[in-house]
């Protein structure tokens, strides 16, 4: 059909395919009332900061009532707000303010499990006759050894915990205080739909869906229910359908830490009708390996085998999230290389598979490398996701246990408690980072007035990313740079409203400057190419050859000035 905006997917402006996502925990962002805990009113005060930074969508980590066993990922009421953070009233005001500034919001949907203090589980464990008993998964015989499957090996030894009261074991993929919900039970599915419906009604734009492979897996469920449930992907498809029916452009951004092949069914394969987006764990891990080796091949191989997605789907790129920086997809030797380069001390490592450090300390604070890595992350085909504090180069606090080392309070000023809270330091919800990455040296206020700061750079990156929709929405081709340390790729997109947008993105993972020759066969000699981060301007030579000078740890976003591209320089 011609004339329909859907006739050509390439012409669809899907907001999540050119968004800049920013993940934060309200509890550690800004404390407005001086009790030592960040709150919703504090976040509302910083909405303008976030929009100025160039963020277009917030991902709010769990802010629901919780027993704080897993930093909010153990929920006791899906419809509530943790009273330490504020009220529903505060939340709605904050959402309204964010909308007014054009900011979208997605929230964590954590329905693989509840807290063991959730009223459903309290009732379920009280008696086998509880109406909530089948909300969870029980077994009455001794479970097999599952010690090799536990996700938090420092604290758990089995996926099953014996419950004295009713003499049965319940399933928990995560901590034992996080019993798994029985998703095969239609009553549980109805609750999940109600939760989604509730938050959509409050104006949110979608969900970051926690632990999706575990969530949709019905293993352990009663045989009859499991048979009725059928293919878990039918359920995921139904969940997406329900979400879209309630709100057409709401997204499901899934946490699915699997290989590409295994991830594809979670997108709904070519149909693209399950999760809208997924984090690219494969590429993130190969990026670190490439950095450790100063050799782009691990990334080149990964991007070349990255599957082509349905035009409505998207990968989310990141170099840090709130968990351990997992390196579980690397071989033991490769992981050891990354450990040796970026976290040699056992205290910097976690669960034998990841790092509990933030990027700048891993790179010894070298601003050239840090900027190059963020430029690379923003330039990769997909949607970039920042974890709060990355924009100013915050570090970790290794004195804080486990994954919490990277969840220290946001550093706003060099003043008391880094401007996070006026409370006594002993009352803070989490300790601040200290030393060279502490607030005295790394904070928003100082960087706001410094045009060379990381903050200024990330803000410029966000702008460039938005100005280059080909990066988020176009087709990507990895180019042969001829240099092991130089990663070059080209993104091309048929622009909304006509014309083709195309750019070549070049990143040098090594300190030595180098000149590379790229083959851009389709370009006529004389085609002008301009760098969006400097005043460099180049011309395509004979047979589409482009000679590009790249600084040590340099980065270039080369816009190809094709006829009909009316974008401002
Ligand atoms: C994944 C989350 O990212 C992590 O922080 C959490 O502990 C587990 N899911 C359990 O909810």
User: pLDDT of 548-560, one tens digit each?
Assistant: 999 999 999 999 9
Q: Can you tell me the mean pLDDT for 430-447?
A: 98
- Ligand 1 neighbourhood includes 279 CB (under 6 angstroms): no
Cα distance between residue 170 and residue 180, in whole Å: 8
Residue 7 pLDDT greater than 50, yes or no:
no
Which SS3 state, helix, strand or coil, does residue 108 take? strand
Check if the beta carbon of residue 232 is closer than 8 Å to that of residue 217. Answer: yes
Q: 478 CA to middle of ligand 1, Å?
A: 33
- Ligand 1 neighbourhood includes 281 CB (under 6 angstroms): no
Q: What is the pLDDT of residue 564?
A: 76
Residue 408 pLDDT greater than 80, yes or no:
yes
Tokens of 315: 């990968």
Residue-wise pLDDT tens digits, 119-154: 999 999 999 999 999 999 999 999 999 999 999 999
Is 255 a residue of the active site? yes
Protein residue whose Cα sits closest to atom 5 of ligand 1: 323
Q: 322 CA to middle of ligand 1, Å?
A: 9
Q: What is the pLDDT of residue 563?
A: 82
pLDDT band of residue 569 (cuts 50, 70, 90) is: confident
435 φ, ψ to 5°? 75, -155
Q: Among 171, 210, 254, 350, which residue has the most ligand 1 atoms within 8 Å of its CB, making it the best to mutate?
A: 210
Residue 5 pLDDT greater than 80, yes or no:
no
Q: What is the pLDDT of residue 4?
A: 45
Residue-wise pLDDT tens digits, 486-496: 999 999 998 76
Output Rg (C-alpha) for the chain, integer angstroms. Answer: 24
Cα distance between residue 237 and residue 173, in whole Å: 23
DSSP E strands in 426-499: the ranges are 475-479, 486-494
Residue 446 pLDDT greater than 60, yes or no:
yes
Cα distance between residue 317 and residue 383, in whole Å: 6
Residue-wise pLDDT tens digits, 217-228: 999 999 999 999
515 φ, ψ to 5°? -110, 130
Is 210 a residue of the active site? yes
Q: 329 CA to middle of ligand 1, Å?
A: 18
For residue 477, list its beta bridge partners: 490
pLDDT band of residue 8 (cuts 50, 70, 90) is: very low
Cα distance between residue 547 and residue 550, in whole Å: 10
Residue-wise pLDDT tens digits, 79-95: 999 999 999 999 999 99
Q: What is the pLDDT of residue 495?
A: 78
Q: 543 CA to middle of ligand 1, Å?
A: 51
Q: Among 78, 174, 318, 325, which residue has the most ligand 1 atoms within 8 Å of its CB, making it the best to mutate?
A: 174
Check if the beta carbon of residue 371 is closer than 8 Å to that of residue 363. Answer: no
Lowest-confidence pick of 159-163, 175-179, 187-191, 495-499? 495-499
Q: What is the pLDDT of residue 498?
A: 73
Residue-wise pLDDT tens digits, 254-303: 999 999 999 999 999 999 999 999 999 999 999 999 999 999 999 999 99
* Alpha-carbon distance values, 208 to 105, 169, 502 (Å): 10, 30, 30
Mutual angle of helices 232-246 and 260-267, in 10-degree steps: 50
Chain position carrying tokens 């690219």: 280
Residue-wise pLDDT tens digits, 226-255: 999 999 999 999 999 999 999 999 999 999
- Ligand 1 neighbourhood includes 211 CB (under 6 angstroms): yes
Protein residue whose Cα sits closest to atom 3 of ligand 1: 323
Q: Among 59, 110, 353, which residue has the most ligand 1 atoms within 8 Å of its CB, making it the best to mutate?
A: 110
Q: What is the pLDDT of residue 82?
A: 98
Protein residue whose Cα sits closest to atom 11 of ligand 1: 73
- Ligand 1 neighbourhood includes 70 CB (under 6 angstroms): yes
- Ligand 1 neighbourhood includes 323 CB (under 6 angstroms): yes
DSSP state of 142: P
Check if the beta carbon of residue 209 is closer than 8 Å to that of residue 105. Answer: no
Other CB atoms closer than 10 Å to residue 190's CB: what's the count?
Answer: 10
Protein residue whose Cα sits closest to atom 2 of ligand 1: 210
Q: Can you tell me the mean pLDDT for 349-356?
A: 97
Q: Which long-range contacts (C-beta less than 8 Å, at least 24 apart) are formed by 214-217?
A: 214/112, 214/173, 214/180, 215/111, 215/112, 215/183, 216/183, 217/183
**Please, is 30 exposed, middle or buried when counting C-beta atoms within 10 Å of its C-beta (0-12, 13-18, 19+)?**
buried
What integer best gives the mean pLDDT of the chain? Answer: 96
Q: 175 CA to middle of ligand 1, Å?
A: 10
Residue 47 pLDDT greater than 70, yes or no:
yes
Q: 520 CA to middle of ligand 1, Å?
A: 43
Cα distance between residue 173 and residue 156, in whole Å: 10
- Ligand 1 neighbourhood includes 174 CB (under 6 angstroms): yes
The CA-to-CA distance between both ends of the chain, in Å, stands at 35
Q: What is the pLDDT of residue 193?
A: 98
Cα distance between residue 23 and residue 59, in whole Å: 5
Q: What is the pLDDT of residue 78?
A: 98
For residue 106, list its beta bridge partners: 59
pLDDT band of residue 13 (cuts 50, 70, 90) is: confident
Task: Bin 214: left if φ > 0, else alpha if -120 < ψ < 50, else beta.
Answer: alpha
Chain position carrying tokens 């734009």: 205
Marked catalytic residue, from 31, 116, 255, 531: 255
Residue 10 pLDDT greater than 50, yes or no:
no
Lowest-confidence pick of 12-16, 110-114, 158-162? 12-16
- Ligand 1 neighbourhood includes 73 CB (under 6 angstroms): yes
- Please state the pTM of the whole predicted model: 0.97
Task: Bin 382: left if φ > 0, else alpha if -120 < ψ < 50, else beta.
Answer: left
Q: Can you tell me the mean pLDDT for 419-442?
A: 98
Q: What is the pLDDT of residue 338?
A: 98
Q: What is the pLDDT of residue 431?
A: 98
Q: What is the dihedral of CA 129, 134, 136, 142, to 10 degrees?
A: 70
Residue 3 pLDDT greater than 80, yes or no:
no
Chain position carrying tokens 């309070």: 409
Residues 6+ positions from 219 with CB-CB distance below 8 Å = none
Marked catalytic residue, from 210, 273, 274, 390: 210
Q: 73 CA to middle of ligand 1, Å?
A: 6
């Amino acid at each position: 059909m011609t004339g329909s905006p859907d006739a050509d997917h390439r012409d669809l402006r899907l907001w999540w395919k050119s968004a800049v996502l920013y993940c934060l925990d309200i509890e550690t962002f800004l404390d407005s009332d001086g009790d030592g805990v960040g709150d919703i009113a504090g976040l509302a005060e910083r909405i303008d900061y976030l929009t100025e930074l160039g963020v277009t969508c917030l991902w709010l980590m769990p802010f629901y009532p919780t027993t704080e066993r897993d930093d909010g990922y153990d929920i006791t009421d899906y419809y509530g707000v943790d009273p330490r953070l504020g009220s529903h009233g505060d939340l709605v005001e904050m959402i309204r303010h964010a909308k007014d500034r054009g900011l979208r919001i997605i929230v964590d949907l954590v329905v693989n499990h509840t807290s063991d203090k959730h009223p459903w589980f309290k009732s379920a464990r009280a008696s086998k006759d509880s109406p909530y008993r089948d909300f969870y998964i029980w077994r009455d015989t001794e479970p097999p050894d599952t010690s090799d499957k536990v996700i938090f090996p420092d604290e758990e030894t089995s996926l099953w915990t014996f419950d004295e009261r009713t003499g049965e074991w319940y399933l928990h993929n995560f901590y034992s205080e996080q019993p798994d919900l029985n998703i095969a039970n239609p009553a549980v599915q109805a609750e999940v739909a109600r939760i989604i419906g509730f938050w959509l009604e409050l104006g949110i734009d979608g969900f970051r869906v926690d632990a999706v492979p575990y969530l949709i897996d019905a293993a352990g469920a009663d045989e009859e229910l499991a048979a009725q449930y059928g293919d878990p992907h039918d359920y995921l498809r139904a969940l997406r359908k329900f979400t879209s029916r309630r709100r057409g452009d709401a997204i499901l951004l899934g946490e699915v830490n699997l290989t590409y092949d295994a991830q594809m069914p979670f997108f709904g394969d070519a149909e693209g009708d399950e999760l809208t987006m997924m984090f690219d764990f494969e590429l993130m891990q190969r990026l670190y390996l490439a950095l450790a080796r100063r050799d782009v091949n691990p990334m080149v191989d990964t991007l070349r085998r990255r599957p082509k997605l349905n035009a409505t789907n998207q990968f989310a790129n990141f170099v840090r999230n709130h968990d351990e920086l997992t390196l579980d997809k690397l071989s033991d030797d490769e992981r050891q290389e990354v450990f040796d380069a970026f976290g040699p001390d056992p205290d910097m490592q976690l669960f034998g598979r990841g790092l509990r450090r933030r990027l700048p300390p891993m790179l010894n604070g070298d601003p050239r490398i840090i900027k190059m890595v963020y430029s690379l992350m923003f330039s990769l085909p997909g949607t970039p996701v920042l974890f709060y504090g990355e924009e100013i180069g915050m570090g970790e606090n290794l004195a804080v246990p486990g994954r919490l080392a990277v969840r220290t309070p946001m550093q706003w000023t060099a003043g008391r408690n880094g401007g996070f809270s006026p409370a006594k330091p002993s009352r803070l919800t989490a300790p601040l980072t200290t030393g060279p990455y502490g607030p005295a040296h790394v904070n928003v206020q100082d960087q706001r007035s410094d045009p060379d700061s990381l903050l200024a750079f990330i803000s410029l990156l966000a702008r460039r990313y938005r100005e280059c929709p080909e990066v988020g929405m176009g087709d990507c081709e990895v180019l042969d740079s001829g240099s092991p340390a130089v990663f070059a790729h080209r993104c091309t997109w048929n622009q909304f409203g006509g014309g083709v947008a195309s750019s070549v993105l070049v990143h040098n993972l090594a300190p030595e400057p180098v000149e590379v020759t790229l083959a851009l066969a389709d370009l006529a000699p004389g085609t002008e190419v301009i760098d969006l981060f400097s005043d460099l301007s180049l011309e395509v030579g004979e047979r589409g050859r482009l000679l590009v000078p790249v600084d040590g740890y340099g980065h270039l976003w080369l816009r190809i000035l094709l006829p009909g591209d009316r974008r401002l320089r």
